[in-house]
Amino acid sequence: VMAPKDENELRHMLKTAIDHDGPISLRYPRGDGEGVALDAEFTAIPIGQGELLRDGADVTLVGIGNTVHPCLRAAALLEAKGVDAAVINARFVKPLDRELLLRLARQTGHLVTVEEHVLQGGFGSAVAELLADEGVGANLRRLGIPDVVVDQGPQETMRAEFGLHPEGIAASALALLGAR
């Protein structure tokens, strides 16, 4: 299950799906793209390989799909407060990049997963299971949609309501760090 961070990665994930000899699910993001430059060539992404976009020592923000760019903006807000945040583009809900997630969980000791999906049984739950199964005692905060009926509205309004915008992500990371 793949989820692109932007329109350029969507192109590469389409190439991955075409080249892969097996079932693939590609989450198509809602709303406008980020307006990033498009690579001239399509390149397949290794199945299950996440991407470390920013290294850090204090907390790891793990975005999936269109929450990755808000995580990068949250990392900049945290940097202004003296917090060194790593940012992972998970890319895959399944299979998870176990090696990358475990390495950063051990490195920072604090993870915030961010998804525009229901929390129960979602991406953050899979990360929590991975940490528990591997005995990694990192502090974890999962951001996403609670198991409630959600009113419809503009995407940015909904993100703000559930703390999925850069300010909300940064605030959750700071709260998690306060739990040291």
The helix (run of H) or strand (run of E) holding residue 168 is helix 166-177
Contact, 176 vs 62, CB < 8 A?
no
Q: Per-residue confidence at 133, pLDDT binned at 50, 70, 90?
A: very high
32 pLDDT above the threshold of 90:
no
171 pLDDT above the threshold of 50:
yes
Average pLDDT over the chain, rounded to an integer? 95
How many Cα atoms sit within 13 Å of 32 on the Cβ side? 5
> Which residue ranges form the domains of the chain, and what is each CATH number?
51-177 (3.40.50.920)
180 pLDDT above the threshold of 50:
no
pLDDT at 155: 84
